A and B are shown apart, each in its own frame.
Chain A
Amino acid sequence: MESSLVKDNPLLLPLNKEKTVYDGFITVQERDFRMRILLPADRQLKGAKHCHFIILPFKSVFSLFFNFSQRLQQSADLVSFILELKTVLEVGLKSRPVCRAISPPQYYSQLMSEMEALGWDKLLFIDTEFRTLRLKVEDSSGRQHILTIKLKSKHPAEAPECSADLPVPLALTWTPQSTLQQLHSQFVLVLESLTEFWDVLDEIDSQTWILEPEKPSRADTMRRIAIGNNMSIKVEVDPRHPKMLPECFLLGAENMVTPLRNKLNANMHLWNPNSSVLHNLRDVLEITFPSPATHEKSDFSVDCGICYSYRLEAAIPDQVCNDPRCGQPFHQACLYEWLRALPSSRQSFNIVFGECPYCSKPITVKMAAQKS
């Protein structure tokens, strides 16, 4: 037993003849860990109490040995205990991110030559470890995009992780022979396939008032466009077929929205896939959208009549009193909170029937938060 202990751990040595004190190092994955074990005179592990490690740079690994003394006392002998300890240390070391390791010089020279081929002017950002790069890419319509590349340690053998603000999943092919330049040109092709989609949305964004999302990103396919008087249309544009008839939801007071919905249904066949979504919406709904040139946004973003604010967390006031003379908007949460406590309200399944707090005309509200 003693011999195998010394053979496996040549750096851990007994300090006295009785072999009750061990001091030295154990080696795991080419790293040495200082340790000291004090055994009782009978050398039974049950009485072993005093041990300590000096594993300063590996505090997280050390936490694995929270019940370290307990393990020691439960082990059959010292050899099996140290074997167990080494196994746990090994697992702990493997789970640690390897980023501390500095890459071989080839990694950097490879990266430099790839960047030189691509052109340094395209580099927006690189982190201090030379792992994460952000490249600036302009599409044919002059829109700026950013491609974020996270290089793996085995670059170029391992494919880097790429991400960008796109409405579709970004799938770039990578072989060990690939370069950043090839990645860049693949990304340009992806952008070109989406220019029509962004053209459609840019036109909507520039010529109408967008109620949602608050600040559309390049990945957002949904737009909620103000029509006026608490009415709006929510369109979901397909990034692959941006000029086709999108999914449309009309929001607002029933009496105002119904004529528009009828028009949408009646004129749907007039949708012209060669024209833009905005033009088609105008033609099909037979309306003109209020534009930033003619209207103030405050004309549409009317505050909730209960909480006096426009945004309540993320929600906007989308419950509107159906009485045309009232038309007061409310947040679903506010209206429900008020109506549910009133004895004059009536509830059927998840809908509460009550009175508009402003004009006292009948109003209903759904109990659950609406998906829209």
Chain B
Amino acid sequence: MQKASRLKRELQMLSTEPPPGITCWQTEERIDDLRAQIVGGSGTPYEGGLFCLEVKVPERYPFEPPKMRFLTPIYHPNIDSSGRICHDALKLPPKGAWKPSLNISTVLTSIQLLMAEPNPDDPLMADISSEFKYNKQLFLEKARKWTQEHAVQKNTGVMEGNKENTPDQKSRKREADSDQQEVEEPAKRTCP
């Protein structure tokens, strides 16, 4: 009941006054299946990249947090290889910190902040996290390389340009991987 009125207002606000470096829009006719883009912050290894996210709004929204996932591969201690994000605001209390006072816009902003300031003490990718802690140079290098490879819009070819925005085969394969991973190795995720 609350979902429709709230989403309508949020989409309106997202289109009229989007937060800096962030865009979010609804896909096709579905009001609860959104796409978002976050511009990689300057001074971060993600600079120059445009990161695409999938935002799914659950039926009980805003009493439940929106479900967000990176579609663009990103090398980050708190984001796993299937794009899942370890972030307080994306989980309900007591584990998380989602509140109805947050919204899609503020959560996307905090994800943008998380990209700039990883949280290695609450990692989703243990190896990237220890790399971030103990070998920052290597981490930055790899993150920059991933950004160049996956997140930079190449103007040389239309095919490649499209690749970033629409989930291509690679990311679809990744989605399949993520489902498997969920079943097979739940222990790998150390994030509570």
Contact = CB atoms under 8 A, between A and B. Distances in A.
B6 A342 contact: no
Contacts, number: 46
Interface residues of A, number: 19
Given A307-B62, A344-B94, A312 B2 contact: yes
B170 to A, nearest CB: 37
A369 B54 CA distance: 37
B62 A306 contact: yes
B99 interface: yes
Interface residues of B, number: 14
A305 B62 CA distance: 10
Contacts of A14: none
B79 to A, nearest CB: 27
B88 interface: no
B100 A305 contact: yes
Residue of B2, B9, B10, B93 contacting most chain A CB atoms (<10 Å): B2
Contact of B63 (A312, A337, A358): A337
A342 B100 CA distance: 12
Interface string B83-123: 00000000011100001110000000000000000000000
Contacts of A303: 9
Contact of B2 (A306, A328, A341, A358): A306
A303 B2 CA distance: 12
21 contacts: A303-B9, A305-B100, A307-B1, A307-B2, A307-B6, A307-B62, A308-B6, A309-B9, A312-B1, A312-B5, A328-B101, A333-B1, A334-B100, A337-B63, A338-B100, A341-B63, A342-B93, A343-B93, A357-B99, A358-B99, A358-B101
Interface of A: 303, 305-309, 312-313, 328, 333-334, 337-338, 341-344, 357-358
